[in-house]
Structure formats: structure tokens, C-alpha cells
Amino acid sequence: MHQFENLDIELNVMEANRKLAEQNRKLLDDKGIASFDIMGSIGSGKTLLIESVVDLLRENGRRPAVVVGDVAGDDDYKRFSSHEIPVININTGKDCHLDAHRAEHAMEGLDLDSIDILFVENVGNLVCPADFPLGTTKRVVVISVTEGDDMVRKHPLIFTAADVIVINKVDLADAIEVDPEVLVSDAKKLVPHVPVIKTDAKHGQGIKELMEVLGLNG
């Protein structure tokens, strides 16, 4: 009996999140803001990837902002703030993901009329965020070759929730003897319609291609 009760509670929570995510999406669409939920493990390179895109966007006169999700601390918040863009920091405590409610409150802290692009860096995790859409235009999953060539096979759910898949740190592939093409192949078998971009955020490789896939080059 308890199992059914717990399942009902979980389904109710996810349905409430879905409805709130739809409201977030409508707000962002009404404001003309392109938004991206950036998901991935700790150490996959999400922060540097966003920083690289943000710098190119600002050079082109765009107005990005970032919402940072972390269990604790403000290290990434400080990094983004150094780019002189609006940044909101969210600490989730014991929760391993952001949800639409937290995203809504974060947006309340932003002047949405002064931005046209919003990145949400989700909590470093390849499990929990999959079930909690935030209402963004697209969801992006970032993994790195340093995590091994079995990451797609081990965490399939989050990739099925993605609109774009990024394989980062490809410059380290030879050193750690991981073939990025294995990750690409696994992703294409699982979600053949989802674009897979290989990047080296540290040296700028693949960043412009990623921006094109995200629709940020125009």
C-alpha cells in the first residue's frame, strides 16, 4: 500500500512541476527569451561551456543571463559574475536537481526585459534533473570523455529528455584512452534525432557549432 501511496505522491509532484514549467515557458516566450537548461555531471565542463558561449554572445551584442544551481556554495556564481552579466545563485541543499518552482523564483530576481537569452546551469547530476523540466526552450546534456565511454549506456533517461547532447573535453580523449565516437554512437542509437556536438570548451573547439544548433548564431 505504501508503495502505491509513494508513487501517487511522486506522480503528483511531477505533474505539478510540469504545469509550472509550462507557465515558465510561456513567460519566457512572451518576453522573447531563448532559454536553455544545461544538465550534466559535476566536472563535465558545464560552467566553462556556458562561459564560452556567453562571451561570444556578448561580442555579438546579445544580452545573456545565467541561473546557477548548486547544492551549496557560490563558486560558479562568482565565475559567471566576472563576465558582467546578470546571475542568480540557487543552493538546493539536499536536493539533487532544480525544479520549475525554483526556476520561477530565480526569474523573479532577473529583469527579464533586459535579457534575451537565459542559461540555467542545473545541479551536477545525470539522474534527477531528467524528470523535472524547468520550462526552458531546450534541454542540453553535457558529458565529458573523462567520465568514461559508457556514460550514455549507464544514464539513458536523461539523454531521452535532451534536445542537444554535448560531449566535452574531447582534447583529453587520447590521454585517457576514451573514444568519443563510442559516446556519439551510443547517443545516436538511443536518440537518433538529437544532435550530438563534440566540444573542447577550454580551447573553443565546437563552441560555434553548438551555438548554431541552439539557434544562437542569428
Say how far apart CA 28 and CA 117 lie, in whole Å: 9
Q: What is the mean pLDDT of residues 209-215?
A: 97
pLDDT at 10 over 70: no
Chain segment 172-201, per-residue pLDDT in tens:
999 999 999 999 999 999 999 999 999 999
Angle at 185 between CA 181 and CA 187, to 5 degrees: 115
Going from N- to C-terminal start, the domains of the chain cover: 2-213
Whole-prediction pTM: 0.93
pLDDT at 7 over 70: no
pLDDT score recorded for residue 218: 58
CATH of domain 2-213: 3.40.50.300
Chain segment 41-87, per-residue pLDDT in tens:
999 999 999 999 999 999 999 999 999 999 999 999 999 999 999 99
**177 Cβ partners below 8 Å, 6+ apart?**
none
